[in-house]
Amino acid sequence: MSITLVHPGNERVAQAATPPARLASLAGKKVALLDISKPGGSLFLDRLGEILRTRYGAAEIIRARKPTFAKIAPPQIIEQLRGVDAVIEALAD
């Protein structure tokens, strides 16, 4: 005898966003560094920003910082990232 179950899980299918094309070079590009507010993250990003400028010719580095690593970024932080060529998000510790 067959048995019928009620689906107990999330049935919504997430729509995956298409990632942008990979940059061929960072030269002349605007790069955002997103600090998630973990200890040590800003030190890492300072150095990374310097390397991106001096070694890879990035034209502009902008920094954004989440108020807390424990929650998703609020919309105003995401807005700060709009218009850049690349974003690097730093996890840290």
- Which residues of the shown chain bind another protein in the complex (CB under 8 A)? 1-12, 14, 39, 67-72, 75-76, 79, 82-83
For the record, the structure tokens of 70 come out as 């424990």
Closest approach of Cβ 9 to another protein, in Å? 4
User: Could you give the CA distance from residue 61 to residue 48 in angstroms, rounded to a whole number?
Assistant: 10
Question: What is the DSSP secondary structure assignment for residue 49, as one 8-state letter?
Answer: H
Q: Which is nearer to another protein, 57 or 67 (CB)?
A: 67
**10 vs 25 by CB, closer to another protein:** 10
Based on CB atoms, which residue is closest to another protein, 49 or 69? 69
Closest to 74 (Cα-Cα) out of 19, 38, 34, 39: 34
